[in-house]
C-alpha cells in the first residue's frame, strides 16, 4: 500500500478514534497490531506475555488516544504505540520476572528456495542469534529489536522509548557489542563441539 495513503487513512482513523469511534481504532490495530506483537515477542521472548503486553498497551492507547496529536509532523503513531508497549513490558517486568522461553517463530527467515545445506545453516544462525539475544538485558534487546528487526530510525527509537538520543546511541552500541560477543562465544562453543564430534 502507498505510504502516503496509509498515513492519510491513519490520520483519519486517529481523528475518529479521538471522537470515540471503536471501529476506527480497529483500523489502527490492523495497521500496527502485527508490528506491536512482533516487538513484544522479541523483547519478552514469550508469546503469551507478548500477547498480554500488547493487550495492555492497546487498552492504554485507547484510553490515551485523545492526547495524541496527529496533526503535529513529529508525532509518529507507531513510535507512540511502541512507547506505550515498552512501558507496559517494563511494568510487567517490575510486577513479575519475565521468563526466558524459546520463541522459534520470532525470527522467521524468508524462504528463498535455498538448498538443504543453506536451510540448515540459516536454522543454525537463527538458533545462535536467539541464544545470543536471550543473554542481553531488556534495554539492549529493546534497542536492537526496534532498530534491526523493525527498521526504526534512532529518532523513532528515542520517541518510542522516551530515551535521549545519546542514550539510544550508547545503548545501541553496547547492545551490538554484547550481541557480537554472545554470538562469538556461541560460535566458539559450537565449533569446539563439532571438533569433539569429529
Q: Rounded to an integer, what distance in angstroms lies between the CA atom of residue 40 and that of residue 51? A: 8
Q: Are residue 86 and residue 157 in the same domain, yes or no? A: no
Q: What pLDDT is stored for residue 74 in this prediction?
A: 52
31 belongs to a structural domain: yes
Q: Are residue 76 and residue 131 in the same domain, yes or no? A: no
Burial code (b: 16+ CB inside 10 Å, e: under 16) for 125-135 equals: eeebbbbbbeb
Q: Are residue 125 and residue 177 in the same domain, yes or no? A: yes
107 belongs to a structural domain: no
Q: Are residue 51 and residue 130 in the same domain, yes or no? A: no
Q: Are residue 94 and residue 116 in the same domain, yes or no? A: no
Q: Are residue 7 and residue 88 in the same domain, yes or no? A: yes
Q: Are residue 96 and residue 117 in the same domain, yes or no? A: no
* CATH value at residue 42: 1.10.1740.10
Q: What pLDDT is stored for residue 120 in this prediction?
A: 56
Question: What total of structural domains would you count in the chain?
Answer: 2
59 belongs to a structural domain: yes
Q: Do the Cβ atoms of 40 and 53 come closer than 8 Å?
A: yes
Q: Are residue 124 and residue 93 in the same domain, yes or no? A: no
Q: Do the Cβ atoms of 167 and 60 come closer than 8 Å?
A: no
Q: Rounded to an integer, what distance in angstroms lies between the CA atom of residue 100 and that of residue 130? A: 11
Q: Rounded to an integer, what distance in angstroms lies between the CA atom of residue 183 and that of residue 194? A: 16
Q: What pLDDT is stored for residue 196 in this prediction?
A: 43
Q: Which domain holds residue 148?
A: 112-198
**pLDDT of the chain, 198 residues: tens digit per residue:** 445 446 677 778 888 888 988 888 888 888 888 989 999 988 888 888 899 999 999 999 999 988 887 666 556 888 889 999 999 988 887 777 555 444 444 444 445 555 555 655 566 777 788 788 888 888 898 898 888 887 888 998 888 888 899 999 999 999 999 988 888 887 765 444 334 433
Q: Are residue 92 and residue 121 in the same domain, yes or no? A: no
* CATH value at residue 167: 1.10.10.10
User: pTM of the prediction?
Assistant: 0.62
Q: Are residue 132 and residue 42 in the same domain, yes or no? A: no
Amino acid at each position: 500500500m502507498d505510504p502516503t495513503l496509509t498515513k492519510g487513512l491513519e490520520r483519519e482513523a486517529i481523528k475518529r478514534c479521538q471522537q470515540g469511534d471503536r471501529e476506527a481504532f480497529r483500523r489502527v490495530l490492523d495497521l500496527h497490531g502485527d508490528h506491536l506483537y512482533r516487538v513484544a515477542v522479541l523483547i519478552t521472548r514469550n508469546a503469551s506475555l507478548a500477547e498480554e503486553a500488547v493487550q495492555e498497551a492497546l487498552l492504554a492507547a485507547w484510553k490515551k488516544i485523545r492526547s495524541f496529536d496527529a496533526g503535529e509532523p513529529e508525532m509518529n503513531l507507531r513510535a507512540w504505540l511502541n512507547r506505550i508497549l515498552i512501558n507496559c513490558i517494563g511494568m510487567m517486568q517490575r510486577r513479575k520476572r519475565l521468563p526466558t522461553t524459546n520463541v522459534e517463530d520470532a525470527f522467521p527467515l524468508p524462504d528463498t528456495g535455498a538448498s538443504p545445506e543453506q536451510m540448515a545453516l540459516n536454522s543454525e544462525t537463527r538458533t545462535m542469534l536467539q541464544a545470543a539475544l536471550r543473554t542481553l538485558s531488556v534495554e539492549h534487546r529493546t534497542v536492537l529489536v526496534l532498530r534491526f528487526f523493525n527498521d526504526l530510525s534512532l529518532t523513532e527509537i528515542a520517541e518510542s522509548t522516551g530515551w535521549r538520543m545519546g542514550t539510544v546511541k550508547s545503548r545501541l552500541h553496547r547492545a551490538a557489542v554484547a550481541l557480537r560477543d554472545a554470538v562469538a562465544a556461541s560460535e566458539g562453543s559450537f565449533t569446539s563441539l563439532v571438533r569433539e564430534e569429529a
